[in-house]
Amino acid sequence: MTIHSFLKLTYLATYEQYSDLRLEIEAGESKHWQTKGEENLLAILKRRWWKYMILGIIDIEANYLVVKAYQYTTLTSVQLLDCFVIPVVILLSWFFLLVRYKAVHFIGIVVCILGMGCMAGADVLVGRQQGAGENKLIGDLLVLGGATLYGISNVCEEYIVRNLSRVEFLGMIGLFGSFFSGIQLAIMEHKELLKVPWDWQIGLLYVGFSACMFGLYSFMPVVIKKTSATAVNLSLLTADLYSLFCGLFLFHYKFSGLYLLSFFTILVGLVLYSSTSTYVAQDPRVYKQFRNPSGPVVDLPATSQLEPSVTYTSLGQETEEEPHVRVA
Reported as a single tens digit per residue, the pLDDT across 121-136 is 877 777 665 555 567 8
Amino acid at 130: Q
Q: How far apart are CA 91 and CA 229, in angstroms?
A: 11
Average pLDDT of span 148-164: 94
Residue 304, CA atoms < 13 Å, CB-side half-sphere: 14
Of 320, 313, 293, give the one whose Cα is nearest residue 104: 313
pLDDT digits (tens, 9 = 90+) for 256-300: 778 888 889 999 999 999 888 888 876 554 444 434 444 444 444
Q: How far apart are CA 263 and CA 112, in angstroms?
A: 9
Of 101, 91, 133, 31, give the one whose Cα is nearest residue 274: 101
Torsion on CA atoms 82, 85, 87, 91, rounded to nearest 10: 160
Amino acid at 197: P
Q: What pLDDT, on a 0 to 100 scale, did the predictor assign at position 10?
A: 46
Amino acid at 30: S
Q: How far apart are CA 47 and CA 33, in angstroms?
A: 19
Average pLDDT of every residue of the chain: 76
For residues 86 and 233, the answer to whether their CB atoms sit within 8 Å is: yes
Q: What pLDDT, on a 0 to 100 scale, did the predictor assign at position 328?
A: 37
Where do runs of H (alpha helix) occur along 82-127?
A: 85-96, 103-126
Q: State yes or no: pLDDT of 321 exceeds 50.
A: no
Of 277, 265, 283, give the one whose Cα is nearest residue 226: 277
Q: What is the three-class DSSP state of 73?
A: coil
Q: Which of 100-109, 156-165, 240-249 has the lowest mean pLDDT?
A: 240-249
Strand intervals (E) in the chain: 99-100, 279-280
Amino acid at 278: T
